[in-house]
Amino acid sequence: MGLRNTAERYGSAARALHWSVAALVFSQIAGGSVLEELPRRTALRAFAFDAHESVGLAVLGLVAVRIAWRLVNVAPVATGHGWQRLAAALAHFALYALMVAVPVVGYAMVDANGFGVVFFGVKGPDLMAADKNLAKRLAEVHETLAWLLVALAALHVAAAGWHHCALRDGTLARMRRRRSS
């Protein structure tokens, strides 16, 4: 299997980007759900928040690469009825939008809190003045968008399972590594 997509399957680059982003997003959701439970003013909490910010920005960068890769590569031909193809296209668009929005809002939230956003030890630019009320509202938006991403990702996984187990149409196989014969 080559690097680029074909009309039948996703290439190794698209697959690597897909599964890497999926793994990082799921780790972010798991990690993000326990951040506020960590003891305040501890090295563990500071490390956990810095790691969450760093991985969130890495997700944003990988999603940008993924979008660029998708724009310059053919996508495998979609299966199913017209409404199914439309639903899949809308769901994919929403997934991409949420994978961009969650870290962007997270960055703004940290910045509005007056903390420096950190990317693997390197402080990012401050884009706004500290505003605790805005930070609180952004925290609510960040959490809501993250849970929407979880729900949509669960729907995506369920749809892939349905295509694989019920329809047996090969949709899931297009995103998996081809087994050697």
Paired tokens of 104:
């962007």
User: Which segments of the chain are extended strands (E)?
Assistant: 118-119, 122-123
Residue 117 placed within a domain: yes
Residue 6 placed within a domain: no
Residue 33 placed within a domain: yes
pLDDT digits (tens, 9 = 90+) for 103-153: 999 999 999 999 989 999 999 999 999 999 999 999 999 999 999 999 999
This model's pTM is above 0.95: no
- What's the length of the chain? 181
Closest C-alpha among 56, 54, 59 to residue 120: 54
Bridge partners, 122 (sequence order): 119
Residue 3 placed within a domain: no
- Overall number of domains in the chain: 1
Domain that holds residue 167: 12-175
Q: How far apart are alpha carbons 10 and 1 in whole angstroms?
A: 9
Residue 28 placed within a domain: yes
**Those residues with Cβ within 8 angstroms of residue 156's Cβ, 6 or more apart along the chain or in another chain:** 91, 95
Residue 122 placed within a domain: yes
For residue 31, the domain's CATH number is 1.20.950
pLDDT digits (tens, 9 = 90+) for 52-74: 999 999 999 999 999 999 999 98
Residue 168 placed within a domain: yes
